[in-house]
Amino acid sequence: MAAAPDVRTAGAIRAAIAAGDLSAVEVCRGCLDRIDGDDGHLNAMTVVLREEALARAAEVDAHRREWHDLPLLGVPITVKDVICTRGQPTTAASRILRGFRPSYDATVVTRLRAAGAVIVGKTNCDEFAMGSSTEHSAYGPTRNPWAPDRTPGGSSGGAAAAVAARFAPVSIASDTGGSVRQPAAFCGVVGLKPTYGRVSRYGLLAFGSSLDQIGPLTLTVADAAAVLAVIAGPDPFDATSAGAPATALADAPCGHARGLRIGVPRRLLEASEAGLDPEVRAAFETALKAIGDAGAEIVDATLPHAAYSVPAYYLVAPAEASSNLARYDGVRYGVRAGTAEEVGDGAAGLARMYERTRHGGFGAEVKRRIMLGTYALSAGYYDAYYRKAQQVRSLIRDDYDRAFADAGIDVVATPTTPTPAFRLGERAEDPLAMYLGDVFTVSANLTGLPAVSLPAGRTAAGLPVGFQLTGRPFDEATLFRVGDVLERAAPWWQEAPPRTGATNPGAGVG
């Protein structure tokens, strides 16, 4: 498989700039030109920071000698529109935050800048990261670079599409139930959800606080490891961040899997509700064989409660969203609906302002999840639904703990998604079908475990297929090691999707 001439990984860009073979401005301008040429059709970006990015790239060039060792020197990066960037729009793809410009950077953004990165823009997503198709966005849907009539996945569809389309070699996004990994699978890139607490959530607009985690989308495993090493680590601004060291992550890829036990939950794969597509299953088995050929032992994994992960997740996540989104009321920031003359004075007027703001500001999917969560937390239903879901969550984590400790499994392998990318609009009227597509991804969020999606081939129609690995807590290094084996066996990242250059702008926040 020959590499496309314009394919450049973050590692290759950083090395070329450090050596003086390329200028950061040259690299940045190339990414910006590609965005200008293709994003009118893909709609992956919510804002492009052209002037700021070029100024930052010029700064990198001016300091190249003294910044020579920075791990992301001059590397262009996009950031999902749920992560705060100081003075720049951060809207969560929602009308309710139209015009909001935070006064601070998220911790991950601060660390990326300190590592020499150049942020070129913000990426489209499902509103407040609630969705699996990037169709629930006030900016309009994002299109899959491999098949523009299909979804790039969600909620980080813009981030995955931006990497696949070579707008930038790295995107930083969030994963609450698969929102990094499912788009990575649909767009044929690498997507990592780190261990809960590995990366600070300070500056991330919260969806589900016990589930959210920030992670990278990249072209290669080595790039994912390098980026994680930069953004990981404790943060005094996030009490849930952990102090686990991340210094050896970039050295994890080694080319073999000898001595590792890879567990496969065959019962979960065979469950009828998963609806596993035959081509996805075939790609999964091929990837599994490649890992076995590299020295790993493939064994059965017993995860009896994993089949209940979707209903448990869709009680816990909406409940946390219901609480977190209560802050968007039109009082402190964002959009306010209705003047004082229109809504009236006193408590009644305040209530009308709240109602108008939230009714007009939130989209249908966000409203659906707020209502589901409020219902699950309400008196008389809390024990039957929310508490029960938390108990099931504990059982799922216990299953993984036993698989790792008692069965000696190092990594659990599944497909990332049961199907390849579906057509835009195909599941818009069937939320349950959309939710069931998360059957393989939500367990990692419920348990807090690290998981990565890796490119594992294409269907006969040319649609990418993802292969998922879930690891022990804070053992992303083993995920990178196994992922590197698969990437060497079949370097799918070297193939870029065809460029369209068409113009079809998104709806915009209105």
Catalytic residues: 80, 155, 179
The answer to whether 172 touches 77, Cβ cutoff 8 Å, is yes
Rounded-to-10 torsion of CA 204, 232, 314, 180: 90
Kindly give the interhelix angle for 476-489 and 278-293, rounded to the nearest 10 degrees: 100
Q: How many Å apart are CA 177 and CA 440, to the nearest integer?
A: 9
Q: For residue 279, which phi and psi values (nearest 5 degrees)? A: -70, -35
Decide: helix, strand or coil at residue 437: coil
The answer to whether 295 touches 260, Cβ cutoff 8 Å, is yes
Full DSSP string of 244-256 = ---TTGGG---S-
The answer to whether 287 touches 486, Cβ cutoff 8 Å, is yes
Asked if the peptide bond before residue 155 counts as cis, ω within 30 degrees of 0, the response is yes
Residue 406, token pair as written in the block: 């008692």
Extract the runs of DSSP E, i.e. beta strands, from 384-503: 411-415, 451-458, 464-471
The answer to whether 343 touches 353, Cβ cutoff 8 Å, is yes
The answer to whether 75 touches 118, Cβ cutoff 8 Å, is yes
Q: How many Å apart are CA 220 and CA 68, to the nearest integer?
A: 22
Q: In what order do the strands lie in the sheet with 190-193?
A: 45-48, 118-123, 76-80, 170-175, 213-218, 190-193, 451-458, 464-471, 411-415, 261-264, 297-300
Name beta bridge partners: 298: 262
Q: How many Å apart are CA 52 and CA 109, to the nearest integer?
A: 14
The answer to whether 116 touches 70, Cβ cutoff 8 Å, is yes
Residue 349 burial class via C-beta count within 10 angstroms: exposed 0-12, middle 13-18, buried 19 and up: middle
Number of Cα atoms under 13 Å in the Cβ half of residue 99: 9
**Cα angle value 444/273/266 (rounded, 5°):** 60
Listed in sequence order, the residues at least 6 apart from 285 whose beta carbon sits closer than 8 Å to its beta carbon are none
Q: How many Å apart are CA 25 and CA 74, to the nearest integer?
A: 8
Listed in sequence order, the residues at least 6 apart from 100 whose beta carbon sits closer than 8 Å to its beta carbon are 89, 90, 91, 333, 334
Q: Residue 231 is which amino acid? A: I
